[in-house]
């Protein structure tokens, strides 16, 4: 996994996302998903830029059906933003990096 991005599974979702002391950007993805692979480098860049202020995590929806099901993930990639254990924003599909930066800056 890329430095600064934590790969999580259903068993540690609550501890790493809901109980995080920092805001969290979670990337729900799958290895067969072309758009997921396309947005991944952007998420990695953002982790490099904002990793000290936001926790970046990835959750493979194929291996971990509980967490995506709990949050109604119907299409991927879906990026969800959590703050104090609550979803504060989400972005579905491929968007410009500037859009993701805008969402992050609103959360901070």
Cis peptide bond N-terminal to 77, omega within 30 = yes
Closest of 81, 73, 90, 85 to residue 108, by C-alpha: 81
59 carries an active-site annotation: no
Pick the catalytic residue from 25, 26, 36, 43: 36
> 3-class DSSP state for residue 53?
coil
What angle, 0 to 180 degrees and rounded to 10, lies between the N-to-C axes of helices 34-50 and 97-107?
50
Pick the catalytic residue from 8, 25, 33, 76: 33
Active site residue ranges: 33, 36
């Amino acid at each position: 996994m890329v430095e600064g991005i934590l790969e999580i599974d259903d068993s540690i979702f609550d501890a790493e996302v809901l109980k995080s002391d920092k805001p969290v950007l979670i990337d729900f993805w799958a290895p067969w998903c072309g758009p997921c692979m396309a947005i991944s480098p952007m998420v990695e860049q953002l982790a490099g830029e904002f990793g000290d202020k936001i926790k970046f995590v990835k959750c493979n929806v194929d291996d971990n059906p509980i967490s995506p099901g709990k949050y109604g993930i119907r299409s991927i990639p879906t990026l969800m933003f959590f703050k104090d254990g609550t979803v504060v924003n989400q972005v579905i599909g491929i968007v410009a990096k500037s859009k993701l930066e805008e969402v992050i800056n609103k959360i901070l």
